[in-house]
Chain A
Amino acid sequence: MLYALCFLLFMIGLYCAVVKKNMVKIVVGILIMEYAVNLFLVMLGYRHGGIAPIIDKSHLESQAALNNFVSSSVDPLPQALVLTAIVISLGSLALMISLCIRTYEKYGTFDITEIRRLRG
């Protein structure tokens, strides 16, 4: 059920990116899609009653504590992949917004149908 909510978020972002005519709204739609994908990837690695994948001094005291950690920690692999994905989304947001600003300076509007008609 939680996966379905993530997928619903992705579909809302897709609708915004496809249907809207304002350029900044299209960028907002792409951002919503990125949030949905990051959420879904981290949700795949969750475990009920899990603990964060960081080893403490208290885990190194005995072998039983270490076994307890190994059997109850959440998955660190999706977290590592999502960490880089979040920073890349900031870089691509900067590039998209600079495109929007340059287009606004040249044509005077954010509307994509106007830009199509002002060709030439």
Chain B
Amino acid sequence: MTIFYILMIFIVIASLIAVETTDLLSSVICIGAMGFGVSLVFLFLRAPDIAITQIVVEVLGLIILIRATISRDLTFISGDKEFFGTVVSVAIIFVIFLAGLRVFETLPEFGTAIFTQVPNAASQTYISQGLEKTGAANLVASVILDYRAYDTLGEATVLFTSILGATVLLRRKAKNTPETLQPVSES
């Protein structure tokens, strides 16, 4: 249990550095450190599928972020600091944080299996009958590709659309400029 606390405090400190530093490249590198910490937490939470995916997605995300920040204006000095707006935002976020802590006290303790205390939980069916109904030894793969395959279809659609949008935005120049288009002849 203490390993969780050590890793979570490391992640929180890295995120504080990423938020407060003025150098863009430093905050991107802190995001990379956070991602590796999150992957370690996933490994200790007994989720190896997600740990593998988090590491490789983290590396590709770092490449994308560094592409955007390298040799642009790295140190950023703002003109007027807008003191009042910052104080009001911090106060509101603090109030929401305190209210949220009251909600988290109603949740069960960390580590007690929540799905065993809820009657007719779906996870009990997945664990006990997953191998004979689907034949897959990896229960997470049987959940995403057999029991909940519709969610995977939605995820493929969202990924397709976002990549389509990003590729269209980054196109070099338009194919048909207004000078090259032939006017439609009226007949």
Give the number of residues in B that approach A within 8 Å (Cβ atoms). Answer: 82
Residue of B whose beta carbon sits closest to that of A50: B46
B residues within 8 A CB of A31? 31, 61
Q: A63: shortest Cβ distance to chain B, in Å?
A: 12
Helix, strand, loop or mixed for chain B's interface?
A: helix
Residue of A whose beta carbon sits closest to that of B162: A91
The reply on B182 being an interface residue by CB < 8 A is: no
Say yes or no: A88 contacts B158, CB within 8 Å: yes
A residues within 8 A CB of B140? 53-54, 76, 79-80, 83
The reply on B111 being an interface residue by CB < 8 A is: yes
Most buried by B among A5, A9, A83, A110: A83
Say yes or no: B57 contacts A29, CB within 8 Å: no
Residue of B whose beta carbon sits closest to that of A2: B110
A:1-25 near B, CB below 8 Å:
1-9, 11-16, 18-22, 24-25
Could you list which residues of chain A lie within 8 angstroms of chain B, going by C-beta atoms?
1-9, 11-16, 18-22, 24-25, 27-29, 31-32, 35, 38-39, 42-48, 50-56, 69-70, 73-77, 79-84, 86-95, 97-102, 104, 109-111, 113
